[in-house]
Amino acid sequence: NGSGTTCPLPLGGVSASNNGLENLDRYFRLQQPPRHFRDLEEKVASRIVANQLPFQYRADFLRATPNTALVPITVEVRNRDLSFQSKQGLRSAVLDLYGRITDPGGRVVRTFEDVISRDIPESLFQSSMDLSSIYQKSIPLRSGLYRLDVVIKDAQNGNIGTLAAALRVPHFEEGKLDASSLILADQIEPVASAQVGVGQFVLGAYKVRPRLSQEFLSSDSLGIYLQLYNLKVDEATHKTKVSVAYRITEAEDQKEVWRAVETADHLHQGGEQLTIERFIPTSSLAPGRYTVEVTAIDVLSDQTVMRSTEFTVKPAPAGALVPLRPSLY
Residue 21 is predicted with a pLDDT of 45
Tell me the CATH number for domain 1-172: 2.60.40.10
Q: How far is CA 313 from CA 137, 211, 222, 250, 288, in A?
A: 28, 12, 10, 11, 5
Dihedral of alpha carbons 110, 98, 212, 107, sign:
positive
The conformation of residue 265, written as its DSSP 8-state character, comes to: G
Cβ–Cβ < 8 Å for 217, 186:
no
Residue 321 is predicted with a pLDDT of 45
Domain 1-172 shares a fold with domain 174-318: yes
Tell me the CATH number for domain 174-318: 2.60.40.3880
Cβ–Cβ < 8 Å for 56, 73:
no
What are the domain boundaries of the chain? 1-172, 174-318
- Tens-binned pLDDT, residue by residue, of the chain (329 aa): 333 332 222 223 333 334 444 555 554 454 555 556 666 566 565 565 567 899 999 999 999 988 899 999 999 999 999 999 998 899 999 999 999 999 999 999 999 999 999 999 999 999 999 899 999 999 999 999 999 999 999 999 999 999 999 999 999 999 999 999 999 999 999 988 877 777 789 998 899 999 999 999 999 999 999 999 999 999 998 889 999 999 999 999 999 999 999 987 777 666 899 999 999 999 999 999 999 999 999 999 999 999 999 999 999 886 554 333 444 33
Q: Which residues, 6+ apart, have CB-to-CB distance to 124 below 8 Å?
A: none
> What pairs with residue 227 in β-bridges?
275
Residue 317 is predicted with a pLDDT of 81
Distance, in Å, from the CA atom of 290 to the CA atom of 250, rounded to the nearest integer, reads 5
Cβ–Cβ < 8 Å for 320, 252:
no
Residue 204 is predicted with a pLDDT of 87
pTM (2 decimals)?
0.82
Residue 15 is predicted with a pLDDT of 32
Cβ–Cβ < 8 Å for 101, 148:
yes
